[in-house]
């Protein structure tokens, strides 16, 4: 190709298109982009799977997912629900009692309680970074407490504050003052974190059955019959421990990451209560007259005669 033709082609190339370089004084600068610039400036399409995600979707309670129960507070990220309690291991006599109650109250759909316990606080909300300071505060509060035995009395009906659930439970008839002392110390701990304290005049009990809604009036109609069944079962299972050994304080912190209880994130902790004596678990009421302690709610009777079964725990 001749030199003249080459210059003509360059001139045509410079005149082609809508470039305005000729109008700008100074040396001509190429406006072509490099491969790397094209790569970074190309906008990628957002995948459909990402588009379908809902950011910060509000948690919606579905009672059908947990046997019709209504949640009393929303589950938010970073919030953990917790409560303190004394644990109780069930036995054959308790299971027989539960079956008897369910069969005796056909008009109400009753559900067995998952874990038997005596509550010492309400269910309260902790921020995640509060958990360890809260635990340390609990430890300080129970140092001066000693272990004790609390016995069951009659069956009673209880309804929660929201009137969304009704419970049948065994009332605590002795050991009441010891439980109340624990609650007062725990209330001081809750006050440090500006959390709701326990009830002013608590009725300590262990729930064994529950149902949805306010069924207190209806269930109270069955109480005379159910308590007669209770006394008969206690006589049949005399060697079972119809009392609670308060040797550990448990508290559970849990968070729901979704709608289903299967997604529960749970942590269980416990603190041992100090004591220098040995409690004989056979020291329980021999008859319903001893167990009910009708003359004095707070009196402790722990000595019986002729017990065939003896277990000891050194605490």
What is the rounded distance in angstroms from the CA atom of residue 237 to the CA atom of residue 251? 30
Tokens standing for residue 21: 């370089």
Q: Which domain holds residue 244?
A: 64-314
* Annotated active-site residue in 66, 75, 91, 117: 117
Q: Is residue 49 part of a domain?
A: no
What is the tally of structural domains in the chain? 1
Long-range CB contacts (within 8 A, 24+) of 265-271: 269/135, 270/87, 271/138, 271/139, 271/142
Report the relative pairing of strands 117-119 and 243-246 from DSSP bridges.
unpaired
Q: Is residue 2 part of a domain?
A: no
CA 265-271-273 angle, 5° bins: 155
Could you read off the pLDDT of 60-88 as tens digits, one per residue?
Answer: 444 444 444 555 556 667 788 888 999 99
258 burial (CB, 10 Å; 0-12 / 13-18 / 19+) is: exposed
Whether 117 is a known active-site residue: answer yes
CATH code of the domain in which 68 resides: 3.90.1140.10
- Maximum average pLDDT range among 10-14, 51-55, 142-146, 274-278: 142-146
What is the rounded distance in angstroms from the CA atom of residue 295 to the CA atom of residue 135? 38
* Annotated active-site residue in 129, 205, 260, 269: 205
The percentage of the chain sitting over the pLDDT mark of 70, rounded to a whole number, equals 58
Q: Is the pLDDT of residue 299 over 50?
A: no
Backbone angles phi, psi at 106, to 5 degrees: -75, -20
Q: Is residue 309 part of a domain?
A: yes
Residue 167, strand partner residues? 158, 210
DSSP 103: H
Could you read off the pLDDT of 130-170 as tens digits, one per residue?
Answer: 988 998 898 888 888 999 999 999 999 999 988 999 999 99
Q: Average pLDDT in the 21-46 region?
A: 57
Q: Is residue 57 part of a domain?
A: no
Q: What is the pLDDT at residue 29? A: 53
**pTM, 2 dp:** 0.66
Q: Is residue 142 part of a domain?
A: yes
What is the rounded distance in angstroms from the CA atom of residue 58 to the CA atom of residue 74? 9
Q: Is residue 264 part of a domain?
A: yes
Q: Is residue 55 part of a domain?
A: no
Report the relative pairing of strands 79-87 and 124-127 from DSSP bridges.
antiparallel
Whether 260 is a known active-site residue: answer no
DSSP 44: P
Could you read off the pLDDT of 105-138 as tens digits, one per residue?
Answer: 988 999 999 899 999 999 999 888 898 899 889 8
Q: Is residue 227 part of a domain?
A: yes
What is the rounded distance in angstroms from the CA atom of residue 251 to the CA atom of residue 174? 23
* Residues 254 and 80 sit within 8 Å (Cβ to Cβ): yes
Tokens standing for residue 90: 């069930």
Q: Is 239 helix (H, G, I), strand (E, B) or coil?
A: coil
Beta strands (DSSP E) in 202-291 are 205-212, 243-246, 248-256, 264-272, 278-280
């Amino acid at each position: 190709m001749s030199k003249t033709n080459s210059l003509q082609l360059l001139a045509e190339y410079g005149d082609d298109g809508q470039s305005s370089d000729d109008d700008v004084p100074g040396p001509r600068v190429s406006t072509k982009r490099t491969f790397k610039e094209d790569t970074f400036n190309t906008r990628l399409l957002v995948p459909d799977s990402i588009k379908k995600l809902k950011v910060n979707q509000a948690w919606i309670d579905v009672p059908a997912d947990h046997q019709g129960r209504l949640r009393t507070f929303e589950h938010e990220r970073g919030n953990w629900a917790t409560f303190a309690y004394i644990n109780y291991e069930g036995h054959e006599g308790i299971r027989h009692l539960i079956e008897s109650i369910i069969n005796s109250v056909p008009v109400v759909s009753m559900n067995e309680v998952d874990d038997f316990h005596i509550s010492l606080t309400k269910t309260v909300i902790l921020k995640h970074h509060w958990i360890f300071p809260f635990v340390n505060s609990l430890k300080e509060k129970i140092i001066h407490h000693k272990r004790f035995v609390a016995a069951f009395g009659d069956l009673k009906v209880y309804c929660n504050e929201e009137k969304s659930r009704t419970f049948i439970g065994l009332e605590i008839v002795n050991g009441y003052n010891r439980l109340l002392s624990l609650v007062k110390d725990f209330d001081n701990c809750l006050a440090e974190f500006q959390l709701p304290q326990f009830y002013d005049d608590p009725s300590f009990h262990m729930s064994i059955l529950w149902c949805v809604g306010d069924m207190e009036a209806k269930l109270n109609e069955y109480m005379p019959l159910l308590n007669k069944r209770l006394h008969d079962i206690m006589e049949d299972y005399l060697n079972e421990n119809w009392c609670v050994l308060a040797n550990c304080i448990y508290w559970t912190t849990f968070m729901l990451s979704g709608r289903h209880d299967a997604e529960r994130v749970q942590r269980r902790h416990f603190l041992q209560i100090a004591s220098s004596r040995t409690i004989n678990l056979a020291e329980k009421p021999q008859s319903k007259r001893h167990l009910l302690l009708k003359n004095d709610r707070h009196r402790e009777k722990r000595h019986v005669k002729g017990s065939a079964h003896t277990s000891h725990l050194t605490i």
